[in-house]
Each structure stands twice: as C-alpha cells, then as structure tokens.
C-alpha cells in the first residue's frame, strides 16, 4: 500500500484471503504491511481485481487497510504497520518530505494508533523504512537526527496506544564511519538508545541483504561467509545479546540463485535461530526486483527452495484453507400491513305486509333474500424482496505484497 496504486500488491491476480491463507500456511505469524502517507490521504486505489476481491470495491486505501487487518485476524496473523515512505512514488531517505512534512508523519501515526487501539491484531508500528543518506543517529541536527525523530514518533504512537511495539530501524552511515545497509546500522544504540515514555516498547529492526542486492565489501572478504556473524553482532546483534532491547530483523531476502546468496541465506538463518530473534522476510510477492518472493509469478505456487532454507525458522508449514469473506446481512425493510377495509353488511330490505282485502287472501309478497355480506379479500402483506448484498467499497516479510524497495 506504499506504491502509486495504494493497494496491496497482487490483488490483481489473487484474493486477499488467498494471500493471507498462503502466508499462514508457510508458517509465518505476522505481516509487515507497508503504506505511504500519500495513500492514507487518497480516496482512490488501483490494480485490484474486483471479481476475486468484491468486498474491496469502492473502498479507500485506508478502508482497505482496515480490511487487511480484519481478514488477517481471521487467519491468526498479527500486523505491523510500516511507514514505508511519505510519497508513494519513491523511497525517501528521511521520514518526511516537502510534500509530507514531519507534522503529517506524526499526525498520521497518531491517527493509526488510535484507529487500531482496540484491535490487538495490530501489534506494532515500524516508524520509517530504511533511513539513509543524510540520516544520522543522535547527531543533534533536528532535520536529520533519526534517533531523536524516532523518539518523537514513538511517543506520539504510545500516547494513543501504549500497548503497541515501536520498531526503530537503523541508518546506513554510522558514527564510527562504517557503512552498511539502508536501515541496517544500529551501533549508535549502545550509547544513545531510543527512550520512550512507556517502557519496554522499543524493538530495533535492522535490514540485511546478500551480494546480489549490493556488492558490499564484506562479501569479497577471504573469510566470507564466516565473517558475517561478527558483522551482524557489531551492527545490531549486540542489542539482543546485551539485553538492551529486542531485535526483529525487519527485512532479509534473496532470489537464492548464486552460491554467494545461498551462503548468506544459510548463515543468517543459522544466526537468527541461534539468537532466537524475530524476523520479517522480504517478501511474499514475487515482483520484488532485488529478491523475488516466496511465491512464483502466478502468485500462488510456493518457492520451495526458499521455504526449505527458512525451515529452521518457520517450520514445515501447515495447510490453511481459504476462508470466504463474510457476507453482510441486509437490514430488512419493515413490512407494511395495511389497515383492513371494513366489512360492508347491507341492511336487509324490510318485508312489506299489505293490509288484507277480504274475502281475498293475498299471497304475501316474498321476503327478499338479504344481500350477501361482502367481505373484501385483505390486501396481501407485501414481502419485500431481500436487498442484494452490497459489499461496501472497498500479500505479505511476512507481508502484504509490498512493492520492491530500492536498495543502494
């Protein structure tokens, strides 16, 4: 819901329920749902096949988000809302742009936190996807200090719903001069953690990728892939090891084709399993240019090799049937019962007895048979034809089909 269509990817091909059932079947329990601030304000969306998603027809993007949350609940899936970008057209280095300033970022987070405050399916918020470029950590420059902005944003969210988890990503250029993935550098947490007004709500959420996404220097090291665990520990793993806060690896993924990528995948799965860390895989949808997805281009066939590689983390999976969306029950139109017409009973014509004329005995005039009582047939009570079910206007990371995120 972060792209220009403002709709979850893939709904031009499959139903929302089909995608959610597939994600659950693979062994995931949470969806990281991307959105843009622009789409939250939009009244229109595109790229949805309403033949297979009739319940989404006529909905706004925000109402589609409601639908995703509601249907995720049916399948036992949690939802983390991910502000993937302010504008829907492209990724931004910072949490705001000229069109969508920080005030809008904060007010949208307050709105969403309040909107889902009574819905435990929504368990957390990812404040901004992949800060990079000029973004710094604790540098004191208000316009670019991501650590300070995350503190402001997190407190706004918790003021509306103190039960939410607040996911904070890292930056790419760290204070010690080292560079890493967009959103992946959290070494600054050691001295400058994010402190919110509600305790135990911060979850740090780095991203990590293989060499086919970007040829980082460590991939060409002589001791690759044995060098990876120490690198991860330095950048973000230490946060969990030292029990500073929980860590959820917010993105990792690969097309799993090259030997280097396969070595990276095996290493990171082993690392996550050993640490007991949470994670979100990028991505369910197959149209991510950098990584592909967990299904093939038909949006239905699982990528067996990837799921096998993830098995130490997600298990063997289960079969989850697709549940039909509920059909709203129309409110019946009240039956109109007409007042019955009164029964008209005519007064009988009186019998006329003529005076006798002697000696003639007249034959009495016949007594006329009274007119029959006219009882009109009651007007039948109309039984209104039931109104047709009008489905209000309107995959999955464990995610709902986000569009590919550009990588450095």
Q: What was the pLDDT predicted at 327? A: 66
84 with 54: CB under 8 angstroms?
A: no
pLDDT higher than 50, residue 294 = yes
Return the axis-axis angle of helices 259-275 and 304-314, rounded to nearest 10°.
Answer: 20
Backbone phi and psi for residue 254, each to the nearest 5 degrees, phi listed first: -165, 155
Q: What was the pLDDT predicted at 315? A: 94
Active site residues: 130, 251
Topology of the domain comprising 16-314: TIM Barrel (3.20.20)
Distance CA 175, CA 236 (A): 14
32 with 10: CB under 8 angstroms?
A: no
Predicted confidence (pLDDT) per residue in 87-96, tens digit: 998 999 999 9
Distance CA 62, CA 108 (A): 11
Average pLDDT over residues 3-24: 97
Distance CA 103, CA 115 (A): 18
Q: Supply the mean pLDDT for the chain.
A: 86
Predicted confidence (pLDDT) per residue in 82-117, tens digit: 999 999 989 999 999 999 999 999 999 999 999 999
* Residue 289 CB neighbour total at 10 angstroms: 12
End-to-end CA distance of the chain: 22
Sign, CA torsion 255/257/259/260: negative
Q: What was the pLDDT predicted at 375? A: 37
For 26, half-sphere exposure in the C-beta direction (CA atoms, 13 angstrom radius) is 34
Q: Assign 3-class secondary structure to the chain.
A: CCCCCCCCCCCCCCCHHHHHHHHHHHCCCEEEEEEEHHHHHCCCCCCCCCCCCHHHCCCCHHHHHHHHHHHHHHCCCEEEEEEEECCCCCCCCCCCCCCCCHHHHHHHHHHHHHHCCCCCCEEEEECCCCCCCCCECCCCCCCCEHHHHHHHHHHHHHHHCCCCEEEECCECECCCCCECCCCCECHHHHCCCCCCCCCCCEEECCECCCCCCCCCHHHHCCCCCCCHHHHHHHHHHHHHHCCCCCEEECECCCCCCCHHHHHHHHHHHHHHHHHCCEECCCCCCCCCCCCCCCECCCCCCECHHHHHHHHHHHCCCCCCCCCCCCCCCCCCCCCCCCCCCCCECCCCCCCCCCCCECCECCCCCCCCCCCCCECCCCCCCCCCCCCCCCCCCCCCCCECCCCCCCCC
For 358, half-sphere exposure in the C-beta direction (CA atoms, 13 angstrom radius) is 0
Q: What was the pLDDT predicted at 383? A: 36
Distance CA 115, CA 258 (A): 44
- Tell me the domain boundaries of the chain: 16-314
Predicted confidence (pLDDT) per residue in 118-131, tens digit: 999 999 999 999 99
271 with 227: CB under 8 angstroms?
A: no
Predicted confidence (pLDDT) per residue in 196-206, tens digit: 999 999 999 99
Q: Assign 353 a pLDDT band (cuts: 50, 70, 90).
A: very low
pLDDT higher than 50, residue 352 = no
Query: What does the radius of gyration of the chain's CA atoms come to, in whole angstroms?
Result: 34
146 with 105: CB under 8 angstroms?
A: no
Predicted confidence (pLDDT) per residue in 298-320, tens digit: 999 999 999 999 999 999 888 78
Burial class (CB in 10 A: 0-12, 13-18, 19+), 380: exposed
pLDDT higher than 80, residue 368 = no
Q: Which of 91, 87, 76, 72 is nearest to 33 (CA)?
A: 72
């Amino acid at each position: 819901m972060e792209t220009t269509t403002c709709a979850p990817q893939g709904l031009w091909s499959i139903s929302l329920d089909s995608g959610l059932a597939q994600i659950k079947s693979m062994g995931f329990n949470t969806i990281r749902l991307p959105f843009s601030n622009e789409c939250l304000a939009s009244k229109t969306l595109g790229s949805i096949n309403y033949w297979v998603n009739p319940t989404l027809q006529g909905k706004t993007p925000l109402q589609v988000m409601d639908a995703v949350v509601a249907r995720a609940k049916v399948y036992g899936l949690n939802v983390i809302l991910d502000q993937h970008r302010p504008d829907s057209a492209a990724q931004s280095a910072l949490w705001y742009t000229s069109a969508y300033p920080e005030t809008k970022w904060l007010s949208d987070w307050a709105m969403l936190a309040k909107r889902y405050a009574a819905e435990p399916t929504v368990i957390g918020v990812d404040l901004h996807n992949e800060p990079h470029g000029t973004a710094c950590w604790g540098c004191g420059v208000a316009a670019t200090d991501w650590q300070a902005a995350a503190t402001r944003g997190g407190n706004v969210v918790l003021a509306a719903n103190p039960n939410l988890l607040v996911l904070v990503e890292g930056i790419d250029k760290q204070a010690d001069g080292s560079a890493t993935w967009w959103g992946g550098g959290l070494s600054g947490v050691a001295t400058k953690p994010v402190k919110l007004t509600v305790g135990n709500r911060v979850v740090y959420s780095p991203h990590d990728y293989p060499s086919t996404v970007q040829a980082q220097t460590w991939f060409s090291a002589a001791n690759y892939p044995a060098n990876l665990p120490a690198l991860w520990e330095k950048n973000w793993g230490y946060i969990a090891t030292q029990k500073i806060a929980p860590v959820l690896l917010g993105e990792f993924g690969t097309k799993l084709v090259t030997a280097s990528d396969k070595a990276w995948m095996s290493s990171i799965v082993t690392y996550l399993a050993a640490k007991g860390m949470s994670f979100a895989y990028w991505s369910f949808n197959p149209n991510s240019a950098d990584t592909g997805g967990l299904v093939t281009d038909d949006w239905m066939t699982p990528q067996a090799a990837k799921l096998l590689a993830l098995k130490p983390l997600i298990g063997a999976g289960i079969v989850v049937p697709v549940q039909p969306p509920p059909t709203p029950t129309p409110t019946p139109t009240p039956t109109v019962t007409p007042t019955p017409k009164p029964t008209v009973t005519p007064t009988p014509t009186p019998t006329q007895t003529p005076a006798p004329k002697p000696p003639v005995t007249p034959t009495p005039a016949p007594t006329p048979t009274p007119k029959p009582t006219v009882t009109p047939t009651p007007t039948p009570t109309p039984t209104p034809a039931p109104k047709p079910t009008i489905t209000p206007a309107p995959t999955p990371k464990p995610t709902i089909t986000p569009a590919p995120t550009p990588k450095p």
